[in-house]
């Protein structure tokens, strides 16, 4: 944890997109965005338009999108980005075998953006209209999701990890094209501190000369900060398939293991593994109040059904499970004892914990954690439907069999990839 961070919580695209656009419109040097879904429609269009404007001003604009989350970019926007100078790459395109190949299950799920090395964004919000869902279609109310706007030392960490992945993605593409010399050059460019450090030096020089943007305070004059703090201690947690396989899970386990009062988790796809289930159960046995705000809508067979047997065990252990009622829930946030909190892209399910690239910001700032706790507690009380243990066990026989089948499929799938969960 390092100090000196400005943290601003953004709920939904209605707050996230304007903050992104404001930062991109002030950009002088570089805009770098990673996302799982980029939908070129509805309220999300303003982000694409801001990237186009920035590139036309001469700003270096990079976009990395996942090949499953965004399988198709409209031809119009491919042309507009190319004409403006936006450089767009696809992470792990599926190829002919698609998801039949286990290697293609490793996806880019993190949502990161860095502008000029000055401001960064990290969270769970995709670039998609709040009232449109890929699986559920048109929503009657905006989905629940969160992101953080960050200023401070960890923004450089965000920039470095994005820079590494950018060049490694290029190297992978060059290998597929059998351009091995170009692939080697791209891998060399992906060293932990690459060209971005020199870019930061240029930005600092611009700031000293008064030419750089972002001079109107930590949040901008037009950006109120009802859930924001200055001077927070925070860090960036990553999940990849090399050196950071378990960092995010370990942070959750440590925080829950030290909990003495309450644990509040809002998570979209919640199928915790053995260690996390045990940590939550032991916390409840110690008298800690454990509240989970989870997705109540049926989206995908495996994720919805495989979660039900786990819910039964947790409710029997005294853990409160509330399903979000007003709309879809896509959040990935947590607070422990109003002293530790995290906001990011990580669902507490096998795909996020074992396979996908994820990113979370973690802080032990009591002011921010207290604000987030109050907000989540309000959502639990007013927007959550409490699951009853007897109601879960009384579900029709066929429903319970489908749940068990989904859970078994999930375990077998993990076994194929060489994981235990």
pLDDT over 70 at 177, yes or no: no
The DSSP secondary structure of 93-112, one letter per residue, reads --TTTGGGSGGGG--B--EE
Confidence of residue 367 (pLDDT cuts 50, 70, 90): very high
Q: Where are the domains of the chain?
A: 2-209, 236-416
Can you read off the two tokens belonging to residue 128?
Answer: 């998609």
Confidence of residue 62 (pLDDT cuts 50, 70, 90): very high
Window from 138-147, 208-217, 355-364, 368-377 with minimum mean pLDDT: 208-217
Cβ contacts of 236 within 8 Å, gap of 6 or more: 122, 154, 157, 158, 161, 359, 360, 361, 362
Fold for 2-209, please state it: Endonuclease; Chain A (3.30.870)
Q: Which residues pair with 332 in a beta bridge?
A: 267
Pick the residue with more confidence: 179 or 278?
278
For the stretch 248-305, pLDDT in tens is: 999 999 999 999 999 999 999 999 999 999 999 999 999 999 999 999 898 888 888 9
Q: How far apart are CA 149 and CA 394, in angstroms?
A: 44
Q: How far apart are CA 309 and CA 347, in angstroms?
A: 18
Average pLDDT over residues 180-194: 53
Three-class HEC string of 182-229: HHHHHHHHCCCCCHHHHHHHHHHHHHHHCCCCCCCCCCCCCCCCCCEE
**pLDDT recorded at residue 181:** 58
Confidence of residue 40 (pLDDT cuts 50, 70, 90): very high
pLDDT over 60 at 406, yes or no: yes
Same fold, 2-209 and 236-416: yes
For the stretch 319-332, pLDDT in tens is: 999 999 999 999 99
Q: Of the CATH numbers 3.40.718.10, 3.30.830.10, 3.30.870.10, 3.30.70.920, which one belongs to the domain with range 236-416?
A: 3.30.870.10
Average pLDDT over residues 3-23: 97
Q: Counting beta carbons within 10 angstroms of the beta carbon of residue 275, is it exposed (0 to 12), middle (13 to 18) or buried (19 or more)?
A: middle
Give the catalytic positions in this structure. Answer: 109, 111, 116, 330, 332, 337
pLDDT over 60 at 117, yes or no: yes
Confidence of residue 222 (pLDDT cuts 50, 70, 90): very low
**pLDDT recorded at residue 193:** 42
């Amino acid at each position: 944890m390092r100090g000196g961070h400005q943290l601003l919580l953004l709920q939904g695209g209605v707050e996230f997109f304007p903050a992104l656009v404001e930062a991109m419109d002030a950009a002088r040097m570089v805009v770098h965005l990673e996302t799982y879904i980029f939908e070129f429609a509805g309220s999300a269009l303003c982000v694409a338009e801001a990237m186009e404007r920035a590139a036309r001003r001469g700003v270096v604009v990079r976009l990395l999108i996942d090949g499953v989350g965004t399988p198709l970019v409209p031809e119009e926007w491919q042309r507009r980005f190319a004409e403006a100078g936006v450089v767009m790459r696809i992470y792990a395109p599926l190829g002919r075998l698609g998801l039949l190949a286990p290697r293609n299950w490793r996806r880019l799920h993190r949502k990161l953006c860095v502008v000029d090395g000055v401001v960064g964004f990290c969270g769970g919000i995709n670039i998609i209209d709040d009232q449109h869902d890929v699986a559920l279609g048109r929503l009657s109310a905006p989905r629940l999701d969160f992101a953080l706007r960050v200023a401070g030392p960890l923004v450089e960490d965000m920039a470095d990890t994005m820079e590494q992945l950018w060049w490694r993605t290029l190297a992978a593409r060059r290998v597929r094209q059998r351009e091995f010399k170009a692939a080697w050059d791209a891998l060399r460019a992906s060293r932990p501190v690459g060209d971005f450090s020199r870019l930061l030096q240029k930005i600092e020089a611009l700031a000293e000369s008064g030419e750089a943007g972002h001079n109107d305070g930590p949040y901008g004059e037009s950006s109120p900060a009802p859930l924001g703090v200055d001077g927070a201690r925070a860090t960036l947690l990553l999940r990849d398939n090399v050196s950071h396989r378990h960092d995010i899970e370990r942070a959750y386990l440590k925080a829950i293991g030290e909990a003495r009062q309450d644990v509040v988790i809002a998570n979209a796809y919640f199928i915790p593994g053995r260690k996390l289930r045990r940590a939550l159960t032991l916390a409840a046995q110690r008298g800690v109040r454990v509240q989970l705000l989870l997705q109540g809508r049926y989206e995908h067979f495996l994720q919805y059904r495989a979660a039900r047997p786990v819910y039964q065990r947790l409710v029997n252990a005294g853990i409160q499970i509330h399903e979000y009622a007003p709309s879809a829930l896509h959040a990935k946030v947590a607070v422990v004892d109003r002293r530790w909190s995290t906001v990011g892209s990580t669902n507490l399910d096998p795909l996020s914990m074992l396979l996908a690239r994820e990113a979370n910001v973690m802080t032990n700032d009591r002011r921010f954690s207290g604000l987030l706790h109050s907000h989540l507690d309000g959502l639990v009380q007013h927007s959550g439907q409490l699951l009853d243990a007897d109601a879960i066990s009384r579900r029709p026989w066929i429903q319970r069999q489908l749940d068990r089948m989904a859970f078994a499929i999930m375990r077998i799938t993990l076994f194929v990839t060489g994981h235990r969960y």
